[in-house]
Every structure is written in structure tokens, then in C-alpha cells.
Amino acid sequence: MESSLFISGKLLSITTFVYFLAMVFYIIYVVSKSKTMGLLGTIGTAAGFFIETGGLVLRWVESYQMGIGRAPLTNLYESLVFFAWCGAGIYLAFEFYYKNRFMGAFVLPFISIAMAYASFSPNISQEIQPLVPALQSNWLIYHVITCFFAYAAFAVACGVSIMYIMKNSKEEKKKPLGNILSFFPSTATLDDINYKAIAIGFPMLTLGIITGAAWANYAWGSYWSWDPKETWSLITWFVYAAFLHARFTRGWRGKRAAWLSVIGFFAVIVTYLGVNLLLSGLHSYAS
């Protein structure tokens, strides 16, 4: 038991390091445009994703060996690791589809920060702990997977939106784009990726809120009670709903939509971390 616990922890530590390297490669790629660096970024992300998959599966197995037996999705450490896993998976899919590695320099930092925060913050326990009665439910798995899939998709959208805002601000002022920005995908493509990521994230977030409501109703008889976590998830939902409708409104496309995507991801971070760090409750990840 001890030795295998060692292995999952080891694998996830390696993952942190590999994602960090991938991020560095992507950034060097953006600055130098060395194709090798871009390729290394992709290889790093993919390798990190596979090692992390192994780490997560092993952690699940280990929890059974400890006689606890629950999915590795139940505390802040595990949720950050899972967020990074979803983010890397979704990012790789987008990179493959759009054949553009520049986005890596803007998306990998989110993944790297999540893993580094999980691994190095002294406040985050990496222990496998048993579940309190309130969390002993299959709804936990459905709820967490849908929410984090959404969060990761929104992280991709946010990264792309930042690229959009950078490139667009130069284009609007008719300034020369410079060496780096001119290699970004066109603003139209960035806008398209932003929309696609949110088109995946929004239904997932909706499903996450619905599964959360169903679980809340099952556990304590109220599907909605305006607690801060619920409310912030609804705020996030409102922001992305505004984004989706803004696309049909003249004057709200492009730049403002990109800003809404950034604001939306800010709401995601508050929903995910802010509420827990500032308030207590069932969603709190404390100890």
C-alpha cells in the first residue's frame, strides 16, 4: 500500500514538472518560432496528459487498497489535478483540430498553475482521505466531471480570448503586428475557437449545475438554496449566456465577446476557488 501510494504521488509530481516544461517550450516557440520548440510543447503536454492519467487511475486504485474506495475527485488537491487533466485533454484536441501551437503559450499556464498550486501549496493536503457522509454519492462523480470539463473548456476559451484582445488592439489601431502577433491565428479564427470552446463548456456547465441541483435535492431536499457556490455558478452561467447571445447582437461581437469570455473565466475561478477560500460550507475544500 505504502509503495503504490508513493507511485501515484510520484507520477503526479512528474506531471507538474512536465506541464511546466511544456509551457516553457510553448513560450519559447512563440518568441523564437522554432518549430522544434512547438513540437516539444505538444509532446510535453501529451506526455503530461498520459502520465497524469496514470497517476489519477493509480490514486483511484490506491484508495481501494486503503479500504476507502472513492474516485479521485473529492478535495482541492484532486480537483486541481483533475482540472489540469481536463484542460490538457481539451487543449490537445483544439491544437490538433486547428493545427496551431501558439495557443499553447496561453493555455498551458492555466494548467501549469493549477498543478503547481496543487503540488506546492502548504495548505493543500495530498492525502487520500475517506468521504464524509454528505459526499458519499454517485452524484459526486457526475457533478465534478461535468463541472471540471466545463471549467477546462472555459480556460481554453479565456486563453484564446487574451490572444484575440492582444492581436485585435494592434489591428484596430492599424499598428504593425510585430513578429509575434503576426504568427497568431487570425482574429476570425481566434473568435471561432473561443466560440467553440464555450459551445462545449456551456452545456457542460449547465449539466454540472443540474447534477449539482439533483444531488442537493437528493441529499437535503432542496435543489436550489442560493448558497454562494450555487450563486456563483449561476453568475458564471449568466456571463456565458450573455456571451452566446452577444454574438447575435451587432456591436457585441469580437472584442466585447472576447472580454466577456475573460470575465466568464474570472467568474469560474471565483466559483471554483474564491468561494471556498473565503467561505465555509459543503463545498469548502478545507482540511
Partner 1 sequence: MTVKKDKFWDFLSSVPLAVALLIILAATSIIGTLIPQNASYEDYLREFGPVFTKVIETLDLFDMYHSWWFIFLLTLFTVNLILCSLKRLPPVLEQIKNPKRILTEEFEKGLPLCDTIRKKGSPERWKEAVKELLSKRYGTPYEEKIEDKAYLYFEKGRYSRLGVYITHLSIVIIMIGGLIGAFFGFRGFVNIPEGSAINQVFIRGGRAPYNMDFVLRCDKFTLSYYPMGMVKEYRSDVTIIENGREIKKDYLIVNRPLSYKGLTFYQSSYGVIDRHAKVRAFVKSGPNKGKSFELDISDKFVNIPFSSDYVKIIDHYPNLENFGPAMILQISEDGGMPVNFPVYKNLPDNDMNPQSKYFFKYLENEEHYYTGLQVTKDPGVWIVWIGCIMMMFGLYYSFFVVRKRVWARIYFEGERTAITIAGHSPRSRMFEEEFAKLLEDIKQINL
Nearer Cβ to partner 1 (14/135): 135
Q: Candidates 108, 213, 258, 268: give the one binding partner 1 (CB under 8 A).
A: 213
Is 11 within 8 Å of 23 (Cβ atoms)? no
Is 264 within 8 Å of 243 (Cβ atoms)? yes
Binding mask 227-256 for partner 1 (x = CB under 8 A): -x--xx-xx--xx-xx--xx-xx--x----
Distance, in Å, from the CA atom of 21 to the CA atom of 234, rounded to the nearest integer, reads 35
Q: Least distance to partner 1 from the beta carbon of 78, Å? A: 17
The CA dihedral of 227, 118, 27, 152, to the nearest 10 degrees, is: -40
Q: Which residue has the cell 477560500?
A: 277
Distance, in Å, from the CA atom of 2 to the CA atom of 208, rounded to the nearest integer, reads 35
Q: What one-letter code names the amino acid at 197? A: A
Q: Least distance to partner 1 from the beta carbon of 215, Å? A: 8
Q: Least distance to partner 1 from the beta carbon of 266, Å? A: 11
Residue 203 found at the interface with partner 1 (CB under 8 A) = yes
Nearer Cβ to partner 1 (20/195): 195
Q: Which residue has the cell 467561505?
A: 279
Question: Which run of H or of E encompasses 162?
Answer: helix 139-172
Nearer Cβ to partner 1 (17/252): 252
Q: What is the CA radius of gyration of the chain?
A: 20
Nearer Cβ to partner 1 (53/206): 206
Residue 54 found at the interface with partner 1 (CB under 8 A) = no
The count of chain residues that interact with partner 1, using the rule CB under 8 A, is 45
Instruction: List the one residue out of 177, 44, 171 whose CA is nearest residue 105.
Output: 44
Residue 43 found at the interface with partner 1 (CB under 8 A) = no
Binding residues (CB under 8 A) for partner 1: these are: 68, 129-130, 132-134, 136-137, 139, 189, 192, 199-200, 202-203, 206-207, 210, 213-214, 217-224, 226, 228, 231-232, 234-235, 238-239, 241-242, 245-246, 248-249, 252, 267, 275
